[in-house]
Structure 1
């Protein structure tokens, strides 16, 4: 009984810590988004609306970052059940294409890219280069536009962290509920034993 109560206290403390981290992350995201939009508005005022609008977007644009989803099997919930918990990781396109766990064809493609004497490799290397979106609006963009991009990148990273924190919170809730059920079952068994002993007397 004491062991179960100790586990419940530990999980509850971890749960409260995760809630606190989640709230702090939300505050940070709110600050970054506010600063990002403010800097973007300032850059638009500086450059002029005709130089900073959707007409300047490159139609061949590609995402610079990707969200990788991995699953791990959790068997720590009293060893009574196992669940797959998703974990999200923000990474760049280069990190994905250069993953050492790629298959042989991907490894061959990387070797070809690194060979300067191979024309095909040069073409592939060029096709993999992703241009910074800031270059769509000129080479010498104002610092406010760069700051805006930095704030939005930080917000994106924070959003991924929030999802991971949320998954951990859900997992802690499941652990706590199972321990609570085990505690109630233990107390019922003790009451039944006590009632039987009283009958014998």
Structure 2
């Protein structure tokens, strides 16, 4: 019985060895040097990316806490407003349907530019003086050119007769005055809650939003630099 015989030819090791060109060897060495130089830079970028993510998560936690504060202030304000309307015996209701058409903002929020960290400033408008004082001051300025002595004499005589007329009359900008002097305590509590929300957590929320946006841009740029290496 004949069995097949498998014959395997063996070649000497010298024939299997390939000769590497000199220029290719130099390219390999240069690439290895570049890799050695790029490793510290990559580690530095990775550490910077970790630091940016840490800052981002801390600010995000603060952002969520501030949102909870705003929600608490507004919930308290609307609850007090509902109580004031429920206990109101008159026909009027406290709400935006009964606002005065001449309503002006009692708090103004402005962004402060030119700072390394974005910030918000709260401005309270000053009370306006009455129109009578403005007209009297303008008339006195006009008469000062011609008959200044007579105008000053009349002003002195009027000030002696009516000493209270020279004091400026300030107009109140408090919206509660629209509903009279004796407003329910619940309405005052609602106003206080809304003012606390505007003056406290809302500006902080705007600042945190700007900082988070800036960190998102830095994180994106750092990740692109890492991918290019």
TM-score (norm 2): 0.56
Equivalent runs, 1:69-88 vs 2, <5 Å: 69-72=111-114, 87-88=119-120
For 1:73 and 1:55, the matched residues in 2 are separated by 40
Q: Deviations over 1:76-121 (max 9, x none)?
A: xxxxxxxxx8643332124xx9xxxxxxxxxxxxxxxxxxx9xxx9
Match in the other structure for 2:132? none
Give the aligned CA root-mean-square deviation in angstroms.
Answer: 3.1
Tell me if structure 2 keeps the 8 A contact 1:18–1:165. Answer: yes
Cα contact 1:40–1:144 (8 A) shared by 2: yes
**Per-residue deviation, residues 119-173 of structure 1 (Å, max 9, x unmatched):** xx965x73xx442111221222222111111111223242332222111101001
SS in structure 2 opposite 1:89?
strand
In the alignment, does 2:192 pair up with 1:160? no
Q: In 1, Cα distance between the equivalents of 2:90 and 2:214?
A: 47
Counterpart for residue 103 of structure 2: 61
2:135 is the alignment partner of 1:93: no
Residue 114 of structure 2 aligns to a residue whose secondary structure is strand
The alignment status of 1:183 with 2:215, answered yes or no, reads no
TM-score (norm 1): 0.63
For 1:42-61, what aligned pairs fall within 5 Å after superposition?
42-48=83-89, 50-53=91-94, 57-61=99-103
**Runs of at least 4 residues off by over 4 Å:** none
Counterparts in 2 of 1:9 and 1:38: CA distance versus 1, 3 Å: same
Give 1:36's aligned residue.
Answer: 77
Equivalent pairs, count:
152
